[in-house]
Structure 1
Amino acid sequence: MDSNEDEKLESSDSVFTLECSVNGHSISTEVPPTRRLLNVLREDLELTGTKRACELGRCGACMVLIDGHPVNACLTMAYQCSGAEITTIEGLSESGLHPVQQAFLEEGGFQCGYCTPGMVISVVALLAENPKPTQEDVEEALSGNLCRCTGYGGIMRAVNKAIERGVS
């Protein structure tokens, strides 16, 4: 479904109040029941670090944390987030870069950078759950993220650096 189809679905008069926390800030906003979390984040809250790409849940560019778990914002309806704590790439660190972001920067774990926010979110979720993951664990955690620009060498070096530093 593309953005134009989303707009058609959202044109109904029915709305609900979404109350949740986004990056540590309480929000309350009126949204149609057909509105996706991705649209709320990017269009309503102007948090554009969460990327729009495939809109099918195949690429991971729209990955966010909901109550600490990585999810595709393009597949998540806004109403499913009532009462949840949502963390986007913008909310990972209050000042400066999150240590996983720093590791990606130092190891060149990106090329065009479009997939990087989703990759970082997935790694942050993995390390919060398992601070000493195996290579297989890392590959599984990143299996929902697609990078069309790089070989995954820089990404894997960045993840390994974050693991070595004890980032969680």
Structure 2
Amino acid sequence: MTLGQDVIYDNGWKVADLRALRRDRIGFIFQAPYLIPFLDVTDNVALLPMLAGVANPAARARALELLTALDVQHRAKAQPSQLSGGEQQRVSIARALANRPPVILADEPTAPLDSERALGVMRILNQMARQFQAAIIVVTHDEKIIPTFKRIYHIRDGQTVEEAGEGRALD
């Protein structure tokens, strides 16, 4: 298994620091936002880049750039408890993108969002995937976002089936 040019598994783990691999190379978007309750929105997004060695000002600038792209920049100083469910989810998406990972794993990323915001988030994810040459793997029951995918796989009776020609990425 490779991630970019790095071999990470070849009949045994090749990467010594799996925490760094997850932090730097894989963005996670969960169904629940899992924001750190005592950090404001900007710090929730800037934390991973700072842990990866990015200077505080650059990490915060990146956080604000992503919050703006996801239309939650006006909540940058708010605590997670002050946000709506949709705002929390958009912040968690910004956090997943903060280190520009080549792989983004998303579990029901648009569940708490209305249709318009869900499609907007998928547009942004697809745009960033193209810009940073990242792969996005989404697990969802949300049929309204299915047209945003280039490839669609369904699991039926324990078997994975590709649905050819169903998906199209939104620009």
TM superposition score normalised by structure 2: 0.31
> Which structure has greater helix proportion?
2
Q: TM-score, normalised by structure 1?
A: 0.32
